[in-house]
Structure 1
Amino acid sequence: MERMDRVDEYIKSFPPNVQQALSQIRATIKKKAPQAIESISYGMPVYKTNGKPLVYFAGFKQHIGFYATPTGHEAFAGELSKYKQGKGSVQFPLDQPMPLELIERIVAFRVEENEKERMAKEGSFPGLSAPAKRALENNGITTLEQLSRLTEKEVLSFHGMGKSSIPKLNALLKQAGLAFNK
């Protein structure tokens, strides 16, 4: 069974008023994290980027549980303070409008946090071979901005840099709105 089907089944297992709230939250998460992988974990929908959870949510009779890991709750503690909370969770009552704008901001925060963690782990050049990464680092190139100041020919002159790395570097530069110097 596909992941989306499982989340669809999860949502459909609730009364209509809960389904509506769950569907609104799901759409909000997908809007702010379209690249997130959706699945079920701990019996509830979860959204992950870079293999790490962004947020979970769950339906209940009187509220929607929202779980943005401790950092998401800490960063928005003031705005979440008006809701009942537990460790790493917040309850959005079903008799009130869902705070979709707040959920959007929390999801965006978590996406950025996961991306920063990935960048810290992989560096500025994910998918590049270790020798090619070392070649860049040995030449003082640690960011895409620095890389964009060089020509492809200059980069290829670095010891340890192979021709197969150029398409990968071009793709990384393009994602960042940059390009090699001409």
Structure 2
Amino acid sequence: MHAFEEFLAKIDRPEHRAEMEEVLAWVADTFPQLKPKIAWNQPMFTDHDTFIVGFSASKGHFAIAPEEATMNRFLDEIVQSKHDHTKGLIRFKWGQPVDFPLLERMIAFNIEDKADCTTFWRK
């Protein structure tokens, strides 16, 4: 998780930093083929130089951004789970349980769906 040390150090509250570190470590452990990197000052994971999932942190929550196409694919499930979301991300209030099963399905979908993608973002 060396790639994310500087990002994590900027999260002021230790409990928030630990929560974000747990989520990032979970992704790295669950999908070891993904490459961790910082881009646009955000932690993200890529596969063959294509975006798979990104994260951000703010005062009240952290967000998981898997790209709009993935959000659309899982929108019914996101709405049924009552996760706070926009068209491009899911927000989790600090201390709120992370929906790891949903996150795993979204990442797996992106890996499979973008297997032949030759660009960073979907076109």
Give the counterpart letter for 2:10 in structure 1. S
Write the distance in 1 (CA, Å) between the matches of 2:52 and 2:86: 18
Write the distance in 1 (CA, Å) between the matches of 2:6 and 2:114: 28
Greater radius of gyration (CA): 1
Write the distance in 1 (CA, Å) between the matches of 2:92 and 2:78: 9
Partner SS, residue 114 of structure 2: helix
Q: Report the count of equivalent residues.
A: 115
The aligned counterpart of 2:7 is 10
For CA contacts below 8 A with separation 6 or more, give which structure has more relative contact order: 2
Shift of 1:37: 1.3
**Structure with the bigger percentage of strand:** 2
- Unpaired stretches in structure 1, ≥5 consecutive residues: 122-182
Q: Structure 1, residues 36-77: CA drift from partner, whole Å, max 9, x if none?
A: 111111111011001110000011111111100012211211
- Unpaired stretches in structure 2, ≥5 consecutive residues: 119-123
Root mean square deviation of aligned Cα: 1.7
1:21/1:64 contact within 8 Å kept: no
1:21/1:98 contact within 8 Å kept: no
Query: What is the TM-score when the length of structure 2 is the normalising length?
Result: 0.82
Q: Which runs of 4+ in 1 moved over 3 A?
A: none
Identity within the alignment, % = 23
Within a 5 Å distance, the mapping from 1:1-182 to structure 2 comes to 4-14=1-11, 15-81=13-79, 82-115=82-115, 117-118=116-117
Shift of 1:6: 4.0
Q: Structure 1, residues 72-114: CA drift from partner, whole Å, max 9, x if none?
A: 2112112222122223111111131111221112111111112
Write the distance in 2 (CA, Å) between the matches of 1:48 and 1:29: 11
**Structure with the bigger percentage of helix:** 1
Give the counterpart letter for 2:19 in structure 1. A
2:66/2:88 contact within 8 Å kept: yes
Query: What is the TM-score when the length of structure 1 is the normalising length?
Result: 0.58
